[in-house]
Structure 1
């Protein structure tokens, strides 16, 4: 790879590592797996960097690669037998109001746990549509399916997410009613 391309790739990785890691975490619910997914996506992107013609579309391409890496990961048989632990250690942010911080943490954890209960394709549709703010057409391109499939997967995913929110926590009604969903 030419030095100019190498520099552009390094700049892209520095700029997009955090947003892609956040998206990966929302997909899989595990920071360590999210790091692995982002790393795999960057390796694949590095291999194709000289073929990426439009540099302005590289973020969308990276998001597509990341989503496909995650879908490949959940299809692997050894992942299906893995037992997940409910307790995820949090590092407190001492710079904010404790009551407000506790409420945000509770909401964030509740949504993360509820997302973990949504089937993988539906979860991918929800994350891409609502957390990554992609259109139906862009989501369909990333997931390699029709726009109608994206709409139905999103609708089913929202229903599953609402049901999981109600099942997981008392007081989740306000999240279901409108703030998060």
Structure 2
């Protein structure tokens, strides 16, 4: 397996990472619910992408779309693989820090915490569909392709996930029945 090391291929990969890493990290964060795990997940997905960069291609605007789709699929599959292998017992949690005197940021942190709590309660497949479909704004077909499932599965998983979120105690306590 040849890996791009320098030259145009390496520069194209560097350009891709510089342009898309923030958005990809956000997706990883929504999947994992943890900043450090998100960094690890994105790093693992980018390593997989780097190893196949010569097959993905580079140099055209279309190659960035192809590479991003590849990374998103790698994020979803790596996330699922990690979950299958890891122990799922007690997980340490902490309070989200509040900034002194910044009431709006504190309220935003609480809402973020409630949404992440509700997302964490979803099965992994439903969570992955919501992140790709609504946060990353992928079409149903793109989401299906990224997860390696049918469009019907994306639709049913999204529907089940939205129903679960609407009845989530973390969100109904905050937003009432409108959640």
Scaled to the shorter chain, the TM-score interval is 0.7 to 0.9
**Structure 2 counterparts to residues 1-181 of structure 1, below 5 A:** 1=4, 2-53=6-57, 54-57=62-65, 58-76=67-85, 78-81=86-89, 83-90=90-97, 92=99, 98-164=102-168, 166-167=169-170, 170-173=173-176, 177=178
TM superposition score normalised by structure 2: 0.86
Q: Cα RMSD between the aligned structures?
A: 2.0
Do the aligned residues in 1 keep the contact of 2:98 with 2:105 (CA within 8 Å)? no
Q: Which consecutive segments of 4 or more residues in structure 1 shift more than 6 A?
A: none
Do the aligned residues in 2 keep the contact of 1:110 with 1:169 (CA within 8 Å)? no
Do the aligned residues in 2 keep the contact of 1:25 with 1:31 (CA within 8 Å)? yes
Alignment size in residue pairs: 170
Do the aligned residues in 1 keep the contact of 2:31 with 2:127 (CA within 8 Å)? yes
TM superposition score normalised by structure 1: 0.85
Shift of the alpha carbon at 1:89?
4.2
Unmatched runs of 5 consecutive residues or more in structure 1: none
Unmatched runs of 5 consecutive residues or more in structure 2: none
Q: Counterparts of 2:103 and 2:124 in 1: how far apart (Å)?
A: 33
Q: Counterparts of 1:163 and 1:84 in 2: how far apart (Å)?
A: 24
Shift of the alpha carbon at 1:159?
1.4
